Structure 1
C-alpha cells in the first residue's frame, strides 16, 4: 500500500512541476513544493505560511513555496523519502523522525536534556544546532533551521498518570523513534508506535491507552476529546526541522539561497511567538473541555530515565549530550 501511494504521487507530480528548474525564464517564479502533516490552524503551519510570504517578499516574487498540509502527500517518513528521490522540495519534520536517516538527531529525543527554553534555543542557534542541520546533507537533506515544537507530555484515556509507576501496564503511543520507544519503556510504560493519522481512532477504540505530545498538537488533533487526563511532565523538547532537499538547494544561486535562508530566520522568530500564544490558548481550551491537567513531580520522571543516559557511556551521542549540558552550565 505504501509503495503504491508513493508511485501514485510520482505519477501525479512530475519532477519539473514539483520544485522548479534552473532554466526558468526571467519573469517566471521558482516554485518549491512543501508537504507536512499538520492542520492549517496549527502554529507550525502558520509559520510555514509566513516563510512562504517572506520568501516572496525577499525575492520580489521570483521564488515561492506551495504548501501541502494535513498529510496530503504522505506522513513524515514518506515525505522524507520523496525528498530523497527528488520528488518533493521541502518539508517540516520532527527531529525524532529524522533519527533513521540522521542518527545524530537522536539527541533531541532524550528526556530532560534542556534546563529551560533559554538553554534550548542557545543549543539550536549555536554550533551544535548548526552542525546537526548540516549532518543531514549526506542523506540529501539540507537543514534550513528549526521551529519550536514545545515540550511533550503524556495524556491518557483511562486513568491519570501522576508518576512513572502509573505508566506500568499502559500502552503509550510514540513516534516511530527508537529513542522515544526506549524512553517510555524505561519509565515503565509499553511504547506502541502508531501513525499520527491513526492515533485519534486508536485512542478512542483502546488500541492505545495514551500518547505524548505538545499542547497545541494535543488540542488541534482533538485528542483531548478522547483523553481525559493530561500530565505536564514535559519529558522532551524536540524541535521541528525545516528541510529542503539538496537537489533543490544545489540548483539555487547564492542570491536565491540567501533569500530562502533569510526568510527562514524571519519565520523562526515569528513562529516562536505564535507557538507561545498557541500553547497558552490550547491549555485553556482543553481545561474548559474537562481535561484533568496534572502538575508532574518532574524529579521522579527524571530519575526514572537515568538508565538511558547510563547506556550512552562511551558513545558519540554521550559526547554530544555533554556538549549540550555544558552549554546549560555556562548560562
Structure 2
C-alpha cells in the first residue's frame, strides 16, 4: 500500500461493530523508510494523513524535550551514554546509524503536526517524579496542539501533575501479564491468576479472577482519575479477555478508552485486530500500520469521520 494512498487515513479509522476505531503509528513508523521518532518519520505520517502517531519523549540535561525511545544512545545512534546526561545542543549532533537522520525535538514534531488532523500521542519516558519546571516546559511546548494531543505514562505520580493536556495511563508497573518474564523491580510478585501484581489481592485464593480484576481496575483508576485512556499491552488485554472481561468495555463504563500496544510485524494482523476489537479496544498502536490498513480493508468498511 502506498503511503500517499488517499484512502489510507480512512483505512486507519475503521468502523467496527458500530464503533469508530483508530490505528496509531508507533514511534511515528509508517513506511519504515525513516528512523523511529525522527522528524522525517513524523512528517511522512502527517503528509499521509494518519489519524494518530506516537513519539517517545525524554528530557535532556538542560530540560530540552527530545524524541527518543531508549534511555541510552548507544544501540541506535552515533552518540553514547544516557540521553539525560547530554544537553539539547549536544544531542542535536547525534544521528541514527540506520538513516543518518538527526534526533528530533518535541517542538519540531509539534510544528510538523500543527494544522493537521493527526493526533499526537506523547509517551513520557520519565519514571522519577517530574519537577514543576519540567511540567511547565512540557505543557507549554504542547500548548499549540493541546486539542489534538494525549500524554501517556506508566508513572501516575507524573500524570497527576499535568493539568493542561489530556493524559493516558499505562498500568504496566502495577499490573501486567507477561509469561516467562524474569524477575523485575516492579511488580515483583506473580499472582495466582498469572498477572504480575504486587497487590495482596493478587495472591488471595478466595477471590475469583473477575472479582480480583474488577477490584484492581477500581484501584488503578484512582491513581489517575483524570485519565481519558488506558494504554495496555496486547498480552495483558488478551489475558483479561480470557478471564471473561472485555477491558475496553469495562473502562468505557467510566468514560475511559482503551489503547492496546503494540501490534508488531510478527503478529497475525487480522486475528489480533479481531480479538482487540472484541475486547473493546478503541485504538491499536502498531509498528506496521500499512499492513494493518490492508487487513482492515479486507474485512471492514472504513468511515470518513470528517466528511467534506
TM-score range, shorter chain: under 0.3
TM-score, length of structure 1 as denominator length:
0.24
Structure that is richer in helix per residue? 1
Higher relative contact order (CA 8 A, sep 6+): 1
TM-score, length of structure 2 as denominator length:
0.25
